[in-house]
Amino acid sequence: IKTRSVGNLTLIIGSGIAGICGAAMGPISQISPYMGGPALWKAFIIIIVGGIGNVWGAVAAAAIFGVLDTLMSQFGGGRFLALTSAAIMLFVLSVKPSGLFGENE
């Protein structure tokens, strides 16, 4: 396996996906260098809560936070979504520092 070629291909594919996602978010929000901030915040919390390096943990955490996002939007107006998400992340990390599905080293 040519690691240099694989690394370059990964960079090209990742940059292409980021460009497509940025173009897709343009009509939804104001175009600025910080327009991906809320999505990045959610992704960070999902990865940490699910367990770094565990895909199924990230899927489970994404499902949990998707339901939480919908419920908070319906009943709380979405005002406390970031605070609730951060509180859940801190609680999970205090109980199980490796995340819900992460493995202890």
| 94 and 43 together in one domain | yes
| 10 and 54 together in one domain | no
Q: Is the pTM of this model over 0.75?
A: no
Calpha distance 11→5 (Å, rounded): 10
Q: What is the DSSP string of 37-105?
A: HHHHHHHHHHHHHH-TT-HHHHHHHHHHHHHHHHHHHHHSTTTTHHHHHHHHHHHHHHH-TT-SSPPP-
pLDDT above 70: percentage of residues in the chain? 96
Q: What is the pLDDT of residues 71-91, one digit of tens each?
A: 888 877 667 788 888 898 999
What band does 8 get if pLDDT is binned at 50, 70 and 90? very high
| 91 and 40 together in one domain | yes
| 27 and 42 together in one domain | no
| 44 and 24 together in one domain | no
Of 11-20, 28-37, 47-56, 59-68, the range with the lowest mean pLDDT is 28-37
* pLDDT at residue 12 in the model: 96
Q: What's the DSSP call for residue 100?
A: S
Dihedral sign computed on CA atoms, order 10, 11, 12, 14: positive
| 11 and 41 together in one domain | no
Domain of 56? 36-105
- Number of structural domains, the chain? 2
* pLDDT at residue 79 in the model: 75
